């Protein structure tokens, strides 16, 4: 009888050690993947002033676009939590989109070497942001799953592990457009 | 996925062992025929040294054989952006980029582990594919890196290449130079005659056997890399349409040969590009790969 209890205790302790280490590994991966997004977002924010200057040289009177880009950027600088950063990021993405839409109307700007370079760089960063977000969300999912499945859910919180927030893409895009039949 | 990684590490080890066995066998053969056991020792030591080099330097050997040149980020920001993006998606360090100056579109990955990986593309690939297709191809290569396929596949290239080379040389020396110096078969009786016959068969068989392992390794691996590549981009159509373009391209890739053909995303030796899966193809048919990607 005593043996059985001893074996049981050993099994439980081994399980807990394994669980703890797995959760630490997953948490570190999630932290690291969040850092990846941050790096890319910062790179994009750093690109903005340069881009605005270049476009201004050709389309100085499109003031509204510049304002919204600058505003989105400063909101990004202020954001601290995952949610705030996600929101500011979506704003900046939208603002940059309209900036490039404006640029479409200026053939000389589109031929500018500097502008083309910035455009490639920005396209690259956009891609990397998307991939970093994907990696972050995947890591978050495995981290959260590891905490919330049974029997890990009995211990995870006591060990000091908490579920993470997903990095959401712009909600507005997913909203169903309202159709008005009355008129 | 982790099973795949472990299996690859085990297979690399197994391959090294197998290689020493084949080379030592050849050495024994030479030793027997020339009646000088120095050759057995020589082959054995050579096999071990070659193994060591293959482990350490097979990636540089393959890159050199393929005339690939390294590129800096400032020389090709487009390629680097795509590679960096997918490295982030896969959660591995950014591999180095190499370019082969050839209009035939193709790509491969090599290196010892994800930290020292290289992705190599041809200039033709960069010209003929659009961004989404290129991302598909790079994602496929990224999966090879992440699964530790690269080390194994590169070692196969070098080791199998060596066996093929050696047995070519041995075969020739048996036919042309062997007559005078070999021990007199008659003094050994009919058993020896059988042995020599077996030996010659073995020398002929060795490269065949070597190619057979190579064939066996690649196909499941390609499907897996396609699938995990599609997981990275979340857009299987990019890779599917890239495979379609690469396969339909009829320009030959001059730098590819029998030792390196299995490394590429689509078999660069056009005459080996089979429409149906057969025993001797290093890649599954592209039609099948595209069909699986499109049904995801």
Whether residues B81 and A29 touch (CB distance < 8 A) is answered with no
End-of-domain residue from the set B167, B195, B213: B213
Query: Is the model's pLDDT at A98 over the cut of 90?
Result: no
Task: State which residue of chain A sits closest to B135, comparing Cα positions.
Answer: A127
Query: Is the model's pLDDT at B186 over the cut of 50?
Result: no
pLDDT classification of B193: cutoffs 50, 70, 90: low
B12 plus B118 within the same structural domain: no
B258 plus B286 within the same structural domain: yes
The number of folded domains in chain B is 2
**Spatial separation of the C-alpha atoms in residues B144 and B150, rounded to whole Å:** 6
**Spatial separation of the C-alpha atoms in residues B160 and B166, rounded to whole Å:** 10
Residue with structure tokens 């030793």? Answer: B31
Interface of B with A in 158-217 (CB under 8 A): none
Closest CB from A36, A121, A131 relative to B86: A131
Strands, sheet with B107-111, edge to edge from the N-terminal-most edge strand? B68-70, B96-100, B117-122, B107-111
**Spatial separation of the C-alpha atoms in residues B114 and B93, rounded to whole Å:** 7
Q: How high does pLDDT run on average in chain A?
A: 84
Pick from B107, B108, B16, B83: nearest CA to B56:
B16
Closest CB from B85, B90, B91 relative to A124: B85
Structural domain contains residue A178: no
Pick from B86, B181, B78: nearest CA to B131:
B78
- How many contacts (CB atoms, under 8 Å) link A and B? 43
Q: State residue B141's pLDDT score.
A: 95
Once rounded to an integer, what is the mean pLDDT over residues B145-165? 84
Higher pLDDT, residue B64 or B6? B64
Q: Catalytic site residues of B?
A: 141
Q: Is the peptide bond before B247 cis (omega within 30 degrees of 0)?
A: no
**Spatial separation of the C-alpha atoms in residues B271 and B278, rounded to whole Å:** 13
pLDDT classification of A2: cutoffs 50, 70, 90: confident
The number of folded domains in chain A is 1
Higher pLDDT, residue B266 or B140? B140
**Spatial separation of the C-alpha atoms in residues B257 and B157, rounded to whole Å:** 10
B177 plus B203 within the same structural domain: yes
Interface of A with B in 32-51 (CB under 8 A): 33, 36, 40
Query: Is the model's pLDDT at B174 over the cut of 70?
Result: no
Structural domain contains residue A12: yes
B164 plus B131 within the same structural domain: no
CATH number at residue B140: 3.30.2010.10
B116 plus B22 within the same structural domain: no
With a CB cutoff of 8 Å and minimum separation 6, the contacts of A37 are A129, A132, A133, A136, A167
End-of-domain residue from the set B182, B213, B244: B213
pLDDT digits (tens, 9 = 90+) for A45-69: 888 888 888 888 887 778 888 888 8
Q: CA end-to-end span of chain B, whole Å?
A: 19
pLDDT digits (tens, 9 = 90+) for B10-45: 877 888 888 888 788 878 877 777 777 888 888 888
With a CB cutoff of 8 Å and minimum separation 6, the contacts of B19 are B47, B50, B51, B54, B159, B162, B163
Whether residues A40 and B81 touch (CB distance < 8 A) is answered with no
Q: Domain range spanning residue B289?
A: 67-150+216-294
**Spatial separation of the C-alpha atoms in residues B242 and B249, rounded to whole Å:** 11
Interface of A with B in 57-116 (CB under 8 A): none
Tell me the ipTM for this assembly: 0.73
Interface of B with A in 8-37 (CB under 8 A): none
B77 vs A contacts (CB less than 8 Å): 117, 120-121, 124
**Spatial separation of the C-alpha atoms in residues B4 and B107, rounded to whole Å:** 22
**Spatial separation of the C-alpha atoms in residues B126 and B211, rounded to whole Å:** 31
Strands (E), chain B: 68-70, 96-100, 107-111, 117-122
Percent of chain B exceeding pLDDT 70 equals 80
Q: Domain range spanning residue A78?
A: 2-166
Pick from A99, A85, A87, A12: nearest CA to A54:
A99
Query: Is the model's pLDDT at A173 over the cut of 50?
Result: no
Task: State which residue of chain B sits closest to A123, comparing Cα positions.
Answer: B81
A134 vs B contacts (CB less than 8 Å): 89, 234
Contact B175, B273 (CB under 8 A): no
Q: State residue B279's pLDDT score.
A: 55
Residues in chain B: 296
Q: State residue B218's pLDDT score.
A: 65
Most confident region among A113-122, B149-158, B203-212, B224-233 by mean pLDDT? B224-233
What are the tokens at B132? Answer: 């989404």
Query: Is the model's pLDDT at B123 over the cut of 90?
Result: yes
CATH number at residue A143: 1.20.1440.20
Q: How high does pLDDT run on average in chain B?
A: 82
What are the tokens at A9? Answer: 């205790």
Whether the CB of B88 is below 8 Å from some CB of chain A: the reply is yes
Task: State which residue of chain B sits closest to A39, comparing Cα positions.
Answer: B88
Whether the CB of B77 is below 8 Å from some CB of chain A: the reply is yes
Contact B174, B203 (CB under 8 A): yes
Q: State residue B85's pLDDT score.
A: 92
- Kindly tell me the burial class for residue B257, based on how many C-beta atoms sit within 10 Å of its own C-beta (0-12, 13-18, 19 or more): middle
B102 plus B197 within the same structural domain: no
Once rounded to an integer, what is the mean pLDDT over residues B79-90? 92
B93 vs A contacts (CB less than 8 Å): none
B142 plus B226 within the same structural domain: yes
Closest CB from A121, A128, A139 relative to B85: A128
- Kindly tell me the burial class for residue A63, based on how many C-beta atoms sit within 10 Å of its own C-beta (0-12, 13-18, 19 or more): exposed
B142 plus B178 within the same structural domain: no
End-of-domain residue from the set B196, B213, B230: B213
Whether the CB of B139 is below 8 Å from some CB of chain A: the reply is no
Q: State residue A68's pLDDT score.
A: 87
Contact B207, B168 (CB under 8 A): yes
pLDDT digits (tens, 9 = 90+) for B247-288: 888 888 888 877 788 889 888 877 666 554 555 566 778 888
Whether residues B89 and A121 touch (CB distance < 8 A) is answered with no
Q: State residue A19's pLDDT score.
A: 92
Whether the CB of B232 is below 8 Å from some CB of chain A: the reply is yes
B79 plus B207 within the same structural domain: no
With a CB cutoff of 8 Å and minimum separation 6, the contacts of A66 are A52, A55, A56, A99
> Which DSSP string do the residues of A42-62 spell out, in sequence order?
HHHHHHHHHHHHHHHTT-TT-
CA distance A41 to chain B (A): 13
Instruction: State phi, psi for B99 to the nearest 5 degrees.
Output: -125, 135
Closest CB from B77, B88, B131 relative to A131: B88
Once rounded to an integer, what is the mean pLDDT over residues A2-16? 93
Closest CB from B78, B80, B85 relative to A131: B85
Query: Is the model's pLDDT at B222 over the cut of 90?
Result: no
Substitution target from B89, B138, B229 for chain A, most A beta carbons within 10 A? B89
Residue with structure tokens 């373009």? Answer: B245
**Spatial separation of the C-alpha atoms in residues B192 and B178, rounded to whole Å:** 16
What are the tokens at B64? Answer: 């050199």
Contact B145, B92 (CB under 8 A): yes
Structural domain contains residue A179: no
A13-37: b (≥16 Cβ within 10 Å) or e: eeeeeebeeebeebbebbeebbebb
């Amino acid at each position: 009888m005593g043996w059985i209890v001893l074996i049981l205790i050993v099994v439980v302790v081994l399980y807990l050690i394994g669980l703890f280490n797995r959760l630490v590994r997953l948490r570190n991966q999630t932290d690291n993947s969040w850092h990846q997004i941050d790096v890319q977002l910062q790179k994009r924010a750093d690109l903005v002033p340069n881009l605005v200057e270049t476009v201004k040289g050709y389309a100085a009177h499109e003031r509204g676009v510049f304002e919204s880009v600058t505003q989105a950027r400063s909101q990004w600088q202020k954001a601290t939590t995952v949610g705030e950063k996600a929101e500011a990021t979506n704003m900046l993405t939208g603002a940059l989109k309209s900036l490039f839409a404006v640029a479409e109307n200026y053939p000389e700007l589109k031929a500018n070497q500097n502008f083309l370079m910035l455009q490639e760089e920005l396209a690259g960063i956009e891609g990397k942001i998307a991939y970093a977000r994907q990696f972050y969300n995947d890591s978050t999912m495995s981290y959260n799953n590891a905490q919330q499945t049974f029997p890990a859910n009995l211990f995870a919180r006591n060990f000091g592990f908490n579920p993470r927030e997903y990095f959401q893409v712009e909600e507005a895009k997913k909203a169903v457009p309202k159709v008005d039949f009355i008129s | 996925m982790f099973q795949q990684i472990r299996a690859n590490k085990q297979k690399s080890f197994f391959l090294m062992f197998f290689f020493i066995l084949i080379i030592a066998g050849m050495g024994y053969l030479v030793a027997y025929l020339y009646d000088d056991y120095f050759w057995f020792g020589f082959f054995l030591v050579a096999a071990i040294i070659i193994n060591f080099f293959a482990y350490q330097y097979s990636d540089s050997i393959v890159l050199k054989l393929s005339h690939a040149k390294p590129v800096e980020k400032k020389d090709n920001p487009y390629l680097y952006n795509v590679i960096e993006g997918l490295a982030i998606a896969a959660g591995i360090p950014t591999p180095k980029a190499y370019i082969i100056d050839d209009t035939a579109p193709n790509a491969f990955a090599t290196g010892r582990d994800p930290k020292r990986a290289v992705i190599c593309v041809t200039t033709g690939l960069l010209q003929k594919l659009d961004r989404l297709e290129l991302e598909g191809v790079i994602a496929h290569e990224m999966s090879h890196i992440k699964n530790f396929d690269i080390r194994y596949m590169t070692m196969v290239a070098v080791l199998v290449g060596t066996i093929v080379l050696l047995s070519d040389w041995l075969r020739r020396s048996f036919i042309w130079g062997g007559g005078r110096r070999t021990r007199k078969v008659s003094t050994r009786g009919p058993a020896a005659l059988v042995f020599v016959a077996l030996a010659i068969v073995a020398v002929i068989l060795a490269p065949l056997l070597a190619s057979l392992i190579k064939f066996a390794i690649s196909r499941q691996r390609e499907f897996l890399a396609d699938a995990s590549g599609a997981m990275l981009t979340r857009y299987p159509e990019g890779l599917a349409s890239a495979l379609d373009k690469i396969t339909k391209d009829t320009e030959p890739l001059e730098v590819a040969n029998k030792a390196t053909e299995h490394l590429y995303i689509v078999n660069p030796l056009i005459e080996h590009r089979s429409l149906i899966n057969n025993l001797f193809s290093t890649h599954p048919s592209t039609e099948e790969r595209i069909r699986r990607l499109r049904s995801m």
